[in-house]
Structure 1
Amino acid sequence: MILEDERVLLRPLQFSDVENLLYFSEHEPDIWYFSLVRANGKANLENYIRIALRARDNKMEFPFIVFDKKAGKYAGSTRFYDMQFSLSTLQLGYTWYGKDFQGTGLNRHCKFLLLQYAFEQLAMERVEFRADHNNARSIAAMKSIGCKVDGVLRSNMPKAEGGRRDSIVLSILKDEWISEVKQNLKKML
Structure 2
Amino acid sequence: MLRFPEILPALKTSTGRFTLTPFSTLDVEPLARILGNDDIWAQGFGDGESRPANPAELNSYIHRRFAGLPIFAIYYTGLPGGPLFAGTTGVTEVTEQYDRVKVGRTVINPAFWGTGANHEVKTAVFDWLFAMGAGRLECDVDPRNERSIRSLIRFGFTVEGTRRRSSPRANGTWRDIVVLSLLVEEWPETRQRAVHALDGRTGWQVPV
TM-score tier after normalising by the smaller chain length: 0.7 to 0.9
Structure 1: runs of 5+ lacking an equivalent: none
Alpha-carbon offset, residue 41 of structure 1:
4.1
Q: Taking every aligned residue pair, what percent have the same amino acid on both sides?
A: 30
Alpha-carbon offset, residue 20 of structure 1:
2.0
Question: 1:44 maps to which residue?
Answer: 57
CA distance in 2, matches of 1:188, 1:80: 25
SS state at 1:65 partner: strand
Alpha-carbon offset, residue 62 of structure 1:
0.8
TM-score, normalised via structure 1 length: 0.87
* Number of residue equivalences: 181
Alpha-carbon offset, residue 39 of structure 1:
5.8
- Matching of residues 177-188 of structure 1 within 5 Å: 177-178=187-188, 180-188=189-197
Alpha-carbon offset, residue 161 of structure 1:
4.5
Alpha-carbon offset, residue 100 of structure 1:
0.6
Q: Could you say which structure has the greater relative contact order, defined with CA pairs below 8 angstroms and 6 or more residues apart?
A: 2
Q: Does 1:63 align with 2:74?
A: no
Root-mean-square deviation (CA), in Å? 1.9
- Matching of residues 99-178 of structure 1 within 5 Å: 99-120=110-131, 122-178=132-188
Residues 32, 59 of structure 2: 8 Å contact kept: no
CA distance in 2, matches of 1:64, 1:41: 25
Alpha-carbon offset, residue 81 of structure 1:
1.3
Residue 100 to residue 82, structure 1, CA distance change in 2 (3 Å): same
Greater C-alpha Rg = 2
- Could you say which structure has the higher helix fraction? 1
TM-score, normalised via structure 2 length: 0.79
Question: What per-residue deviation string (whole Å, max 9, x for no partner) do you get for residues 51-106 of structure 1?
Answer: 2453x2xxxx3111111223541111111111111211011112111211111111
Residues 164, 176 of structure 2: 8 Å contact kept: yes
Question: What per-residue deviation string (whole Å, max 9, x for no partner) do you get for residues 118-141 of structure 1?
Answer: 111x10110001101222111001
Structure 2: runs of 5+ lacking an equivalent: 1-8, 199-208
